[in-house]
């Protein structure tokens, strides 16, 4: 069964907001210290109240958890740590009953080394599944076939003494890369997608989409002239032969066909590439990913001129009919608050929720969770463990959701798999839910405005101006309604000098609630870290 039908003609994934759940850390219903599916079910009421339209759940498939689920050992089942297939069916049914769409995390680039396919593949050079993975002889001196590096540190080739060849792994050696040039692999993976689509899953976030195809000749990657030793060793080389190969687009188009055989489904590609290369993943006829994730806000320096330029570059580069999207955080990145600071967190939320394009929220950002310092002996993330002293562990952004001031922040009755932030008695859902001035109420207000207002939801984006301090833009609906956002990216006061004639209207949301309902007639004087969202008196068609 699909989620309740949207009320407009705009597809749900354009009009709605996506909320990412890292299932280990969201809510633990069975008291083993790790979040699970029943835990998610118990929080659907919260998600509906918040106003998000879809949840994307990081992998819940059977896995040895070498990379916490991104090492899949069975694509069509549920790991017992998260529950059962019955639990999942319940989740899907109950989410849909509340009008929430469900996206799974599909990990096609690599499997676990315990996946039966790989177990078979490494049995012998003559194995029927040998060619399902990327095996190669070493060089005559016994060294690996080329210089490619693993994202998680060290060589990307692992020697298999039993069969006398190397296999390629872009990530952990426990995550061998599948050979996406092999039609049998493709068919098996497409069938796995169909398994979930048949159940009624609304689509997929596709892991490392740009890694899927590798250079056929396995040529060496060139050195990166900008590498510095504080960076991960992966950055020593430019991955021009190991990622983003031209043939990947045919694979993405095939995946798109798989989901297009069903109604209203969507694929979102995880792709970290420069804008022009990223745009190619929409496909030449918008027949690629519905949305290649846009991570620009994760790494653009947090200054008005830079952010403004990034938005314009992105808007300008979008293919005709390509639908934009924006991301402020995920389970691989430092948390929003720890990047931009507490003072700018509301500015960031206002930006995310008033830009043109589907926003993706990362669990906990809506209550202002921050990166939690994890003592070295408690580090769980393989990226942190494999590259010590580079501060690359992703644990700090994966800590348990803070639901209440109760034990373990209401996340679990047992010691959680990762420590809870010590601030949980103050920073939690329960404390913020009924507090008008809280971060959570602020998010909810913006979310509901975005859901209700066609201009914010799918209207056009027009920059009004950026100064050293502030950014202003408007959103206009074809129906005539218009909004203007003005954001101060600094902690100093600033003045937004209105064009002539001035844009007039009323403040409908602001970082500081004192602004609400104020009438705007002329220049706007913002205090530090303030932002306002104004419903304009005269929409674009009436000025």
For 208-236, b where at least 16 C-beta lie within 10 A, e where not — what string? bbbbbbbbeebeebeeeeeeeeeebbbbe
Q: How far is the CB of 211 from ligand NOJ (least distance, A)?
A: 8
Q: How far is the CB of 330 from ligand NOJ (least distance, A)?
A: 7
- Strands 165-168 vs 135-136: parallel, antiparallel or unpaired: antiparallel
Would you tell me which residues interact with ligand NOJ (CB under 6 A)? 67, 70, 107, 171, 207-208, 270, 331-332
- Decide whether 171 or 515 has the Cβ nearer to ligand NOJ: 171
SS3 361: strand
In the set 113, 158, 202, 207, the catalytic residue is 207
- Strands 505-510 vs 494-496: parallel, antiparallel or unpaired: unpaired
- Decide whether 393 or 432 has the Cβ nearer to ligand NOJ: 393
Q: How far is the CB of 167 from ligand NOJ (least distance, A)?
A: 16
In the set 155, 270, 395, 476, the catalytic residue is 270
Quickly list DSSP for 134-194.
-EE---TTS--SS--B-TTSSBSEEEETTTTEEEE-SS-TTSPBB-TTSHHHHHHHHHHHH
Q: How far is the CB of 151 from ligand NOJ (least distance, A)?
A: 7
Work out the burial of residue 376: count CB atoms within 10 Å of its CB; fewer than 13 is exposed, 13-18 middle, 19 or more buried: exposed
Q: How far is the CB of 350 from ligand NOJ (least distance, A)?
A: 26
- Decide whether 67 or 158 has the Cβ nearer to ligand NOJ: 67
Neighbouring residues of 400: CB distance < 8 A, sequence distance ≥ 6: 25, 28, 35, 408, 409, 411, 412, 416, 418, 420
- Decide whether 171 or 403 has the Cβ nearer to ligand NOJ: 171
- Decide whether 135 or 171 has the Cβ nearer to ligand NOJ: 171
- Decide whether 331 or 356 has the Cβ nearer to ligand NOJ: 331
Q: How far is the CB of 332 from ligand NOJ (least distance, A)?
A: 5
- Decide whether 87 or 177 has the Cβ nearer to ligand NOJ: 177
C-beta separation of 309 from 338 below 8 A: no
Cα–Cα distance between 153 and 386 in angstroms, integer? 6
- Decide whether 362 or 496 has the Cβ nearer to ligand NOJ: 362
Q: How far is the CB of 208 from ligand NOJ (least distance, A)?
A: 5
Q: Is 207 a catalytic residue?
A: yes
Cα–Cα distance between 371 and 340 in angstroms, integer? 12
Q: How far is the CB of 294 from ligand NOJ (least distance, A)?
A: 15
Place of tokens 């892991």: 207
| Inter-CA distances, 226 with 222, 229, 231, 277, 430, Å | 12, 10, 10, 20, 47
36 — phi, psi (to 5°)?
-150, 180
C-beta separation of 206 from 267 below 8 A: yes
- Comparing every residue's Cβ against ligand NOJ, the nearest one is 70
* Helix ranges, 206-341 (H): 248-260, 275-279, 296-299, 304-317, 336-340
* Helix ranges, 98-135 (H): 116-121
Cα–Cα distance between 80 and 67 in angstroms, integer? 16
Could you tell me which of 78, 41, 43 has the C-alpha nearest to residue 59? 78
Residues serving a catalytic function are 207, 270
């Amino acid at each position: 069964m699909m989620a309740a039908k949207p009320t407009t003609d705009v597809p749900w994934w354009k009009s709605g907001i996506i909320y990412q759940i890292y299932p280990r850390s969201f809510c633990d219903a069975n008291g083993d210290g790790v979040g699970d599916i029943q835990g998610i079910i118990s929080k659907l009421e919260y998600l509906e109240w918040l106003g998000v339209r879809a949840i994307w759940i990081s992998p819940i498939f059977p896995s040895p958890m070498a990379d916490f689920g991104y090492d899949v050992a069975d694509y069509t089942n549920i790991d017992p740590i998260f529950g059962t297939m019955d639990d999942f069916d319940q989740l899907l049914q109950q989410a849909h009953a509340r009008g929430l769409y469900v996206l799974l995390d599909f990990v096609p680039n690599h499997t676990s080394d315990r996946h039966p396919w790989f177990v078979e593949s490494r049995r012998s050079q003559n194995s029927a599944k040998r060619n399902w993975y990327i095996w190669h002889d070493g060089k005559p001196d016994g060294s690996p076939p080329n210089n490619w590096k693993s994202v998680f540190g060290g060589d990307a080739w692992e020697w298999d003494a039993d069969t006398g060849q190397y296999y390629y792994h872009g990530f952990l050696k426990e995550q061998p890369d599948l050979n996406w040039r092999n039609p049998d692999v493709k068919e098996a993976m497409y069938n796995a997608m169909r398994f979930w689509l048949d159940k009624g899953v609304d689509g997929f976030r596709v892991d490392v989409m740009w890694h899927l195809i590798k250079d056929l000749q396995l040529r060496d990657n060139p050195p990166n002239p900008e590498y510095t030793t504080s960076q991960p060793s992966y950055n020593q080389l430019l991955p021009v032969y190991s990622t983003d190969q031209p043939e990947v687009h045919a694979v993405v188009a095939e995946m798109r066909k798989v989901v297009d055989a069903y109604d209203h489904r969507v694929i979102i590609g995880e792709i970290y590439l420069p804008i022009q290369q990223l745009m190619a993943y929409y496909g030449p006829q918008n027949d690629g990913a519905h949305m290649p994730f846009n991570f620009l806000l994760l790494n653009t320096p947090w200054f008005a001129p830079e952010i403004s330029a990034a938005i314009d570059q992105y808007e300008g580069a979008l293919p005709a009919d390509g639908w934009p999207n924006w991301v402020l955080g995920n389970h691989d990145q430092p948390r929003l608050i720890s990047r931009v600071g507490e003072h700018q967190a509301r500015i960031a939320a206002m930006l995310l929720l008033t830009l043109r394009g589907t926003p993706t929220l990362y669990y906990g950002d809506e209550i202002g969770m921050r990166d939690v310092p994890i003592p070295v002996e408690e580090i769980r993330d393989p990226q942190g463990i494999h590259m010590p002293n580079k501060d690359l562990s992703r644990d700090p952004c994966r800590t348990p959701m803070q639901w209440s001031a109760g034990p373990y922040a209401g996340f679990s009755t047992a010691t959680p798999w990762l420590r809870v932030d010590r601030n949980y008695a103050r920073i939690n859902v329960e404390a913020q839910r009924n507090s008008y001035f809280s971060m959570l109420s602020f998010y909810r207000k913006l979310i509901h405005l975005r859901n209700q207002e066609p201009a914010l939801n799918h209207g056009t984006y027009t920059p009004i101006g950026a100064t050293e301090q502030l950014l202003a833009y408007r959103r206009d609906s074809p129906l005539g309604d218009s909004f203007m956002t003005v954001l101060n990216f600094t902690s100093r006061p600033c003045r937004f000098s209105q064009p002539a004639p001035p844009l007039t209207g009323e403040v409908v949301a602001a970082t500081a609630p004192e602004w609400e309902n104020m009438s705007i007639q002329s220049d706007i004087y913002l205090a530090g870290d303030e932002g306002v969202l104004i419903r304009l008196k005269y929409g674009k068609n009436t000025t």
